[in-house]
C-alpha cells in the first residue's frame, strides 16, 4: 500500500430484483451515498444488476466486454462520483453457447476500466429446500487477478472532478467473487495485497454458517484488509441472501458490518496498521509452500 493516509472504502449491500433498470437506479443511489460519505472506492455485490427468477434470465442481459448498458452505467458512476468502483458482477459473453462469464470489472475514478476478473469457482450446493449449480449457465474463469488501483478523492463541491489523494497513492487489490472465498490457494496466488474484495450473493444457509468465518480467515492468513459485499435479504425470486457486508482488518477484527437490508458500510483502511501487523508477525515471510 503506497499511502500517506487512510483509505475510505464502501461496501454497497443490495437486494436486487429481476429488473435491470430498477437495480441500476438503486445502485446509483447507494453509490452516491458512499461518495457523499467520503469513500474513495466502492464495491457492489455479486449479481447487483439482476437476480432473476431462474438462472437463465441473466443470458438476456449478457454484454460483450467494453459494450453495454451495465458497463456504461459503471463507467459513468465512477467518473461522475470521482471514485473507483468494483462493479460487483455482470454477465459477459463466453465462447460457450448458452453460457456466460460471471465477471467483476474495476473502473477508476475517470470511468476507465482497469481490471477484469472472471469467477473461477462455480457454486454448487444441495440444501434441504434449495439447490444451486452455477455451472448450468456459467463458464469458469482461469486466472487470479491482483492489480494496483490509483486512489482519488473528489474535490469538495465538485464530485466529478477527482484529484489524486496525495499524488502517489495506490491500493494493491485482489479480486474474488462469492464461492471463491472457500479456496485460500486463490488468494495465495495473488501475492501480498492490501485489500481483498469479495462481492457475493451467499445463501442464508451457507452464510449463517461460514461467511464471517471465512472472511476473517482470509484476512488473518493474508494479513490484509478484506471487504465482503453481499446481497442482503429476501428477493422476488424467493431466494434469501445472507447480507452481513463487512470490512475486516488484517488482525481479523470486524470494523463495520450491515446485517441485512440495503445500505452502505463505510470503513477506513490504515496502511500503518497493516504494516505494523506484518512487521510484528512476519508470517508472509515465513511461508514455505
Question: Does any domain span residue 128?
Answer: yes
Active site residue 124: no
Point out the catalytic residue in the list 58, 63, 99, 119: 119
Range of the domain at 157: 7-286
Q: Report pTM.
A: 0.94
Task: Give the pLDDT confidence score for residue 4 in this predicted structure.
Answer: 57
- 193-216 pLDDT tens trace: 999 999 999 999 999 999 999 999
Regions of the chain where pLDDT drops below 50: 154-161, 164-168
Active site residue 46: yes
Rounded Cα–Cα distance for residues 143 and 113 (Å):
18
Greatest distance between any 2 Cα atoms in the chain: 53
Question: Does any domain span residue 62?
Answer: yes
Task: Give the pLDDT confidence score for residue 167 in this predicted structure.
Answer: 37
Residue for grid cell 514455505: 288
Task: Give the pLDDT confidence score for residue 153 in this predicted structure.
Answer: 63
Task: Read off the DSSP letter of residue 211.
Answer: I
Rounded Cα–Cα distance for residues 86 and 97 (Å):
27
Q: What are the beta bridge partners of residue 84?
A: 41
- 110-128 pLDDT tens trace: 999 999 999 999 999 887 7
Task: Give the pLDDT confidence score for residue 156 in this predicted structure.
Answer: 45
* Structural domains of the chain, count: 1
Point out the catalytic residue in the list 63, 153, 178, 262: 178
Task: Give the pLDDT confidence score for residue 161 in this predicted structure.
Answer: 47
Question: Does any domain span residue 221?
Answer: yes
Point out the catalytic residue in the list 46, 134, 260, 262: 46
Question: Does any domain span residue 114?
Answer: yes
At residue 80, φ and ψ (nearest 5 deg) are -70, -35
Task: Give the pLDDT confidence score for residue 3 in this predicted structure.
Answer: 55
Task: Give the pLDDT confidence score for residue 251 in this predicted structure.
Answer: 98
Task: Give the pLDDT confidence score for residue 126 in this predicted structure.
Answer: 85
Question: Does any domain span residue 2?
Answer: no
**Contact predicate 218/193, CB 8 Å:** no
**Distances in whole angstroms, Cα of residue 18 to Cα of each of 182, 200, 225, 229, 237:** 27, 17, 32, 19, 8
CATH number at residue 63: 3.60.110.10
Residue for grid cell 461518495: 35
Question: Does any domain span residue 113?
Answer: yes
Question: Does any domain span residue 1?
Answer: no
C-alpha cell of residue 253: 477484527
Question: Does any domain span residue 65?
Answer: yes
Provide the pairing of β-strand 113-118 with 41-43: unpaired
What length is written for the chain? Answer: 289
Amino acid at each position: 500500500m503506497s499511502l500517506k493516509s487512510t483509505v475510505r472504502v464502501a461496501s454497497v449491500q443490495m437486494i436486487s430484483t429481476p429488473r435491470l433498470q430498477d437495480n441500476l437506479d438503486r445502485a446509483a443511489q447507494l453509490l452516491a451515498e458512499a461518495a457523499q460519505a467520503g469513500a474513495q472506492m466502492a464495491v457492489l455485490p455479486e449479481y447487483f444488476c439482476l437476480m432473476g427468477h431462474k438462472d437463465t434470465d441473466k443470458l438476456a442481459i449478457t454484454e460483450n466486454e467494453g459494450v453495454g448498458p451495465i458497463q456504461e452505467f459503471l463507467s459513468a458512476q465512477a467518473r461522475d462520483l470521482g471514485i473507483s468502483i468494483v462493479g460487483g458482477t455482470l454477465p459477459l459473453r463466453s465462447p460457450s453457447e448458452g453460457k456466460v462469464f460471471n465477471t467483476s470489472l474495476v473502473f477508476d475514478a475517470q470511468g476507465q476500466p482497469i481490471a477484469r476478473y472472471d469467477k473461477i469457482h462455480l457454486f454448487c450446493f444441495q440444501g434441504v429446500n434449495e439447490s444451486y449449480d452455477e455451472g448450468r449457465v456459467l463458464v469458469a474463469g482461469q486466472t487470479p487477478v491482483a492489480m494496483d488501483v490509483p486512489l482519488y478523492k473528489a474535490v469538495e463541491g465538485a464530485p466529478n472532478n477527482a484529484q489524486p489523494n496525495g499524488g502517489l497513492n495506490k491500493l494493491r487489490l485482489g479480486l474474488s467473487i462469492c464461492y471463491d472465498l472457500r479456496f485460500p490457494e486463490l488468494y495465495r496466488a495473488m501475492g501480498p495485497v492490501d485489500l481483498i474484495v469479495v462481492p457475493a450473493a451467499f445463501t442464508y444457509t451457507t452464510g449463517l454458517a461460514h461467511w464471517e468465518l471465512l472472511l476473517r480467515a482470509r484476512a488473518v492468513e493474508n494479513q490484509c484488509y478484506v471487504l465482503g459485499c453481499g446481497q442482503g435479504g429476501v428477493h422476488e425470486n424467493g431466494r434469501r441472501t445472507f447480507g452481513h457486508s463487512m470490512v475486516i482488518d488484517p488482525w481479523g477484527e470486524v470494523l463495520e458490518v450491515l446485517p441485512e437490508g440495503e445500505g452502505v458500510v463505510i470503513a477506513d483502511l490504515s496502511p500503518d496498521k497493516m504494516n505494523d501487523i506484518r512487521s510484528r508477525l512476519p508470517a508472509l515471510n515465513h511461508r514455505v509452500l
